[in-house]
Chain A
Amino acid sequence: MSSFERFLDTFFNATVLEKYAPAILSGVGVTVWLSILIIIAGMAFGTLLACLRAYRFKPLSFFIVIYADIFRALPPLVMILLIFFGLPSVGITLSSFMVLFVVLALILSAFAEEILWAGITSIEKGQWEAGRSTGLGFTQTLIFVVLPQAMRLAIPPLTNRAIAITKMTALGTVIGVPDILNQASTAQSFSGNASPLMLAAVAYVVLFLPFVILSRWLENRYFWRKA
């Protein structure tokens, strides 16, 4: 066989691909489902934390900052292993899916909180004053006047961060979550062929490339508006 044919056989073997495609596809389902859950939970919690910080209760703000710092400074894999292996011995058993979900959602919420907080604090005081001067309460002003504007500012960095974190679902392989990478690794061991890995790579790119392109487009829009 020529080296090109060998290359094809190694990475694009039709027989192997056909056999393991369903498994990889189910992995895609798991990855997509996980990503959606992580984004919803992470964004919701991060928004809540940023809003709580707006009330400027020093003790609460202190804990929120500590929380955000810790979850941004720790490597996700360290946290995943810690929770997965450590929790059962204190009586809490979570499935690997749950562990992955909880850890990544918390990490996303930490980044989301920081990004949104930067947005909220950049809204000029006059907006708060205008809202309050018409009799709107603090919470009403926060929700209807300030938060919408802060969210618009936060979209480009938030999109980038969400993509980065949902890609980390691949780490689930290490604790046995049946995601794309896991299915592909197993298939690769059984078949002795690298095609499943190639398929996995393609699957991930197909899933995430649209969002990467979207975030590039969003940044351009924002760039011109700022300039």
Chain B
Amino acid sequence: MDKLIEQFFDVEVMVAVLPTIIQGMWMTLAICAVVIPMGLFGGLFAALGMLSKHRWLRWSMIIFVDFFRAIPPLVLLIFVYAGLPFAGLRISPFTAVAFAFLLNNSAYYGEIFRAGIQSIGFGQSEAARSTGLNASQTMTYVVLPQATRNVLPDLISNTVEVVKLTSLASVVSLGEMLYAADMARSITYNASPLVLVALIYLAALWPLVRLVSHFERRIAH
């Protein structure tokens, strides 16, 4: 039992590594600040593409979305980071992460937005168009606001996934929270830095996870 505490909950170690972890946390936040909005916009674009009247656009979007939902994010990240240099492109770890996650998130957010938009019945757009609004105004002012409200729990749930995904950046040596913690672990031979990072993730994400559960239950009825 003591060994357990010593290995996982050594407060001294946690306090000692805290500054490094906090630095890592800023990087985590920076990644989120870039990746989440990009993913949302990419997703919106993908969703509209999947619902387009033009068959070629619809099908290429669906193929794009399904492809990037099928490939594991880590594989995509490593491919972008380690593979592209072979083709002559030098990119920083941050750019690699941003690009790989843009592709991955657009696919997932895209699916969510598509389902949301489709759940708004035709009646809404018919009503809007009959008052003279054009297609993009209808989408912007009538359909999208309602669609977003309908799929808010899914959007939040996916955003939680995206935040968790940032930990993958540690694999390509981007100095976010998990990278800092793993470095600290290998230096101290102690797992407490990892526990510290786990606690930080819990503190940040637990409320959101609870929120999503609450929403999911309400919608199921």
**Chain A residues proximal to chain B, CB less than 8 Å:** 6-7, 10-11, 68-70, 72-79, 81-82, 85-86, 89-91, 114, 118-119, 121-122, 153, 163-164, 167-171, 173-174, 180-181, 185, 188, 193-194, 197-198, 200-201, 204-205, 207-209, 211-213, 216, 219, 223
Contacts and interface: CB of A to CB of B under 8 A. Distances in A.
Contact of B70 (A70, A79, A169, A208): A208
B105 to A, nearest CB: 13
B56 interface: no
B216 interface: yes
Contacts of B119: 223
Contacts of A10: 86-87
Contact of A86 (B69, B86, B170, B194): B194
Given A73-B209, A81-B178, A89-B7, 11 more contacts: A10-B86, A74-B201, A75-B164, A82-B195, A90-B3, A163-B69, A168-B74, A181-B75, A188-B82, A197-B78, A208-B72
B3 A7 contact: no
Contacts, number: 156
B205 A73 contact: yes
Q: Which of B67, B194, B201, B206 has the most CB of A within 10 A?
A: B194
Interface string B131-152: 0000000000000000000000
A168 B167 CA distance: 12
Interface residues of B, number: 55
A169 B70 CA distance: 13
A114 B210 CA distance: 11
A211 B69 CA distance: 10
B126 interface: no
A200 B75 contact: yes
